[in-house]
Amino acid sequence: MKMEKRRFERFMIYDATGIEEHLERMAAQGWMLKKIGKGGWVYSRVEPVKLKFSVVYYPAASEFDPYPSDEQKTLWDFCEKDGWRLAASWVQMQIFYHEGENPRLIETDALLQLENIQRSMKRSFLPSSGILLVLSILQCSMLGRNIWRDPAETLSYGLTLHMVSAWCLLFVLCVKNIGEYLCWYKKAKKTAEEGGGFLRIRVNRRLEGAALVYILGGTVLWVIFMIQSRQLVFALCGIFHVGVLFLWVSWVKKRVKQWKVSVLTKWSVTLLSALLCSGAVMAVLVWLCISHDFGAHPAGTYEYMGMEFEIYEDPLPLTVEDLTGKTYAGYLYKCKTQSTFLCSQTTCGQRPRLDAPSHPTLAYTITEVRAPFLYEFLLEGIKREYARWEEFYPSGEGEVLTQSDAKPWGAREAYAFSFPERFPVEYVVCYEDRIVEIQFGWEPSQEEIRMAGDVLRAWTKRGGSYNSHPRQSLR
């Protein structure tokens, strides 16, 4: 028989009445509250018993306190004299139980009880909720900025979409929880002043539960879908980052509890150490990803001037060989695809190895638009990206992105990316369901443009592979 169980209760910390009634039902079912912590509420099995519970708030308590203060112990002794025994305490919340039928209440003044709750909330609930609110605003702002600057890149990345929705949901929850508490406190204070007693809390906690399931479930599903993808390494890095940070903060909090300094100092040291730890772990992960090129899949290596470089032979939908009809040796072929239900983006590049002759290069990005209402937004984002190049050129030296003849491409419209005093070598081509950005390492002929347009207009990745020109590498 299971003698202990752990539950993650979803009560707001100030919901005294709801917590009391819940614990009374649990005791009647044979489960007595044992302790409360970050790992949830722990219950131990007992004989079913009818108990009365009372939640009392002690505002001076802090999670950085190593032991209960003398004043806190005095409160416990005072309650015990009237038959109230301590079941568990969690920061400012003290939970007592009584075995009698009609015990004397610990708190009889609703205004005083409300004032203790308000002081406790100012030390725990409101600051933490405020910090989460600010973080969610900052994260939503940064993610929104990324979507505005490069919508195709951002909206085709599954993790980014999940993060956007998760942070927006967290913002809504923070506003909801803070707003509900402030509204309840205002009404409760008015009720208490009018002699109406303690006002019960009427809050629907289903949204918080649904949000937790969505965030955790979405993260798990994203990791599962990315198992065969290059993006998996970044998901694992993120999980590792959060795990290390959690363990570090828990360790620091245990240490600073023993310091004979103010709570503000302990809190500041913990926050500063968390920021330093987060920065250090992130720096190490970035260094590892860059130095080891995590997520890429080289086909081999080659040496050049005493150094080792990697060879990539990813299949490409369009190659220099396809366009020129010539065979070259010593190319690197790289291709990556990221996809969501809104759009997908495939980025391909073909360039010669360092030990190969100077061959022509080819690079292109295919953005497939799966949500038609986003087409113009994605196109405008691409145009804005090219327009940023104008700041590098003095005024009057020519337009950066100009209208081009779309007929050779077989497209509805096309744009040329022009460099002053050079031929246009980069194009933005618009088809019905996709936008192609292509850069030639030579001035393409009309026939080569037509061939490129035919391939890129009709290409769709099927089953993770596609036909391409045979690979030839220098060995």
Rounded to whole angstroms, how far apart are CA atoms 243 and 260?
A: 29
pLDDT in tens, 19-72: 999 999 999 999 999 988 877 899 999 999 999 999 999 888 777 666 677 888
What is the H or E stretch that residue 33 is in? Answer: strand 31-37
* pTM (predicted TM-score): 0.74
Q: Whole-number mean pLDDT of the chain?
A: 82
Question: Beta strand 4-7 with 413-417: parallel, antiparallel or unpaired?
Answer: unpaired
Beta-carbon contacts of residue 290 (< 8 Å; ≥ 6 apart) = none
Ramachandran area for residue 58 (φ above 0: left; ψ -120 to 50: alpha; else beta): beta
Inter-residue contact 185 to 120 (CB < 8 Å)? no
> Which single residue is written with the structure tokens 């969501």?
340
- Tokens of residue 243, six digits: 């795990």
What pLDDT score does 471 carry? Answer: 42
Where the chain has pLDDT below 50, the residues are 398, 462-475
With a CB cutoff of 8 Å and minimum separation 6, the contacts of 368 are 343, 344, 345, 346, 433, 434, 460
Helix or strand (DSSP H, E) at 351: strand 343-352
Place of tokens 């691409």: 382
CA distance 459 to 451: 12
pLDDT of residue 291: 64
pLDDT in the model for residue 289? 65
Nearest by Cα to 338 from 137, 207, 125, 160: 160
Q: Are 449 and 307 in contact (CB under 8 A)?
A: no
User: What is the per-residue pLDDT for 232?
Assistant: 63
Express each pLDDT in 36-46 by its tens digit: 887 789 999 99
